Amino acid sequence: MSTYFAALSLGFLFSFHCIGMCGPIALAVPLGNSTGFLRTGKMLTYNAGRILTYAIMGALFGVIGQGFHIAGIQQWVSIGLGVFIILAALFPALFKGSGIERKVLGYTSGLKNAFTKSFGKSSFSGLAVIGLLNGLLPCGLVYMALAMAMASNGPFEGAGMMVFFGLGTVPAMFGVQFFGHLLSEGVRSRIRRFVPYMVALLGVLFILRGSGLNIPYISPDLSGGVEEPAHCH
């Protein structure tokens, strides 16, 4: 249960990222003229689609992580994930104008085109599709959560962790929808500039955890040590 609480806390504590990065999408969700319970139901449908995508990805990464655990290389995987997360945080600076950036932009543009088709519908099914697609957008915060899912004990725990992570971000998404008009573009811009530093910090923590430096809570010694076998006389 502690792993689920950690995932929920990650989603909630870092959900300010959603205000800066996903805020414009949340504000553009086509809720029509609905109010009250109907408006809330539509927002819940949109978020349910988003969380379903997270759960599917969490299950896949849980399977991958389980394979690494069986192979006994989970510490190296933690270091590799840390490096990947740091690269993801530095992506705009490292790969600006490169072929990698063009591919990512092409992928994002394809999703935006799919968004555009769905944004013309304010039905529950249309909102569910928008949520499903939103879960596929490149996002450093989601990468952090998936890294946690990869360190889980299999597909079910990985999916559960991503569900709790998604639930942690729901209050911020509702806040953006109902109070987003109070946030200026300048505030959202400052949030976007701050996010990469937090993502990179978590990447460093993953590297430290995999390094097994015997630092309590941060980098525990995962070697476990091998006791001398008992001999019968």
At residue 9, does pLDDT exceed 70? yes
Helix and strand counts by DSSP (H, E) for the chain: 10, 0
Does the pLDDT value for residue 106 go beyond 50?
yes
Rounded mean pLDDT of the chain?
A: 76
Say how far apart CA 140 and CA 195 lie, in whole Å: 8
> Given pLDDT bands bounded at 50, 70 and 90, which one contains residue 217?
low
Cβ(140)–Cβ(195) below 8 Å:
yes
Over 90: is that where the pLDDT of 54 sits?
yes
∠ CA 132-112-32, rounded to 5°: 70
End-to-end CA distance of the chain: give it in Å, rounded.
44
How confident is the model over 140-156, as pLDDT tens digits?
Answer: 778 778 888 887 878 99
What six digits make up the tokens of 7? Answer: 């995932």
Residue 120: other Cβ atoms inside 10 A = 8
Tell me, what's the pLDDT at 228?
46
Residue 133 has pLDDT above 80, yes or no: yes
Percent helix, strand and coil across the chain, each rounded to 5? 75, 0, 25
Note the pTM of the prediction, 2 decimals.
Answer: 0.73
Most confident listed range (43-47, 100-104, 193-197): 43-47
Of 74-78, 142-146, 156-160, 218-222, the range with the highest mean pLDDT is: 156-160
Residue 23 pLDDT: 59
Query: Each residue of 189-216: pLDDT tens digit?
Result: 676 677 777 778 877 887 887 787 777 6
**Is 19 or 44 the better-scoring residue by pLDDT?**
44
- Check whether 162 has a pLDDT greater than 60: yes
Q: Which residues pair with 219 in a beta bridge?
A: 215
Average pLDDT over residues 9-17: 77
Cα separation, 48 vs 54, in Å, equals 10
Beta-strand ranges (E) seen in the chain are none
For the cut 50, the answer to whether the pLDDT of residue 104 exceeds it is yes
Q: Spell out the domain ranges in the chain.
A: 2-211
* pLDDT at residue 101, rounded to an integer: 61
Distance separating alpha carbons of residues 54 and 52, to the nearest angstrom: 5
Backbone phi, then psi, for 35, in 5-degree steps?
-140, 170
